[in-house]
């Protein structure tokens, strides 16, 4: 019988927490994960997206504990570039049609194995990346097929703190939650 670890998001198996503690690289999709998946376009053609500051806080926090962060997304957007640079994301891969190739290139640059890599995605294009990583996460509002493929389904939706939830789980697994405020 597996022991459970209690987190602010509910109980998580000790086995999953152990796997999370090995993560050295967290990669994420953008639309539907770091944003709510909505794309607003103004009359002048400008694109607008919304990002949750809680996700940003979590991303900065895990990086302070030695976990690298990056994105792999199929779309190209200056907004995403600006946001990721403000969070000091180490890997920013936009306009990517082949997420597996990007994943392998990032893991090689980061000098990490698949078992040390986690990915959070929300749609079927992310499933091959799930299978190539050590751990997979998805927001609560991910596509049902993605939910069936993920190792962990967040309690929170994309753009509403799902990435923060994953970051908090990483901090919990690394026993770094007590130093969170001081490390940011």
Q: Chain centroid to CA 99: how far?
A: 14
C-alpha separations of 28 from 31, 45, 80, 102, 169 in Å: 10, 26, 12, 12, 15
3-class SS string, 37-76: CCCEECCCCCEECCCCHHHHHHHHHHHHCCCEEEEECCCC
Order of all β-strands in the sheet with 135-138:
91-93, 68-72, 25-28, 117-120, 135-138, 152-153
Confidence grade of residue 183 (pLDDT, cut at 50, 70, 90): very low
- Of the CA atoms within 13 Å of residue 114, those in its CB half-sphere come to 12
pLDDT of residue 184: 43
pLDDT for 182 equals: 46
Give, for 111, the enclosing helix (H) or strand (E): none
Which tens digit of pLDDT belongs to each residue from 119-167?
999 999 999 999 999 999 999 999 999 999 999 999 999 999 999 999 9
* Summary count for the chain: helices (H), strands (E): 8, 10
Q: What is the mean pLDDT of the chain?
A: 93
Residues 6+ apart with CB under 8 A from 148: none
- Over residues 35-47, the mean pLDDT reads 92
Query: What is the reported pTM?
Result: 0.93
Does residue 47 have a pLDDT over 70?
yes
Beta strands 135-138; 68-72: pairing state: unpaired
- Supply the pLDDT for residue 58: 96
* Each residue's pLDDT tens digit, 55-109: 999 999 999 999 999 999 999 999 999 999 999 999 999 999 999 999 999 999 9
């Amino acid at each position: 019988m597996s022991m459970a670890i209690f987190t602010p998001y509910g109980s998580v198996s000790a086995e999953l927490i152990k796997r999370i503690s090995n993560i050295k690289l967290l990669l994420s999709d953008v639309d539907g994960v770091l944003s709510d998946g909505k794309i607003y376009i103004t009359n002048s053609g400008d694109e607008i997206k919304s990002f949750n500051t809680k996700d940003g806080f979590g991303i900065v926090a895990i990086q302070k504990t030695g976990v690298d962060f990056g994105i792999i997304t199929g779309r190209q957007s200056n907004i995403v570039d600006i946001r990721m640079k403000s969070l000091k994301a180490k890997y920013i891969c936009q306009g990517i049609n082949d997420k597996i190739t990007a994943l392998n290139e990032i893991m090689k640059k980061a000098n990490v194995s698949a078992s040390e890599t986690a990915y959070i995605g929300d749609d079927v294009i992310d499933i091959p990346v799930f299978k190539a990583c050590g751990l997979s996460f998805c927001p609560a509002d991910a596509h049902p097929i993605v939910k069936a493929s993920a190792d962990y389904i967040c309690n929170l939706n994309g753009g509403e703190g799902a990435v923060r939830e994953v970051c908090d789980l990483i901090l919990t697994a690394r026993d770094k939650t007590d130093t969170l405020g001081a490390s940011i």
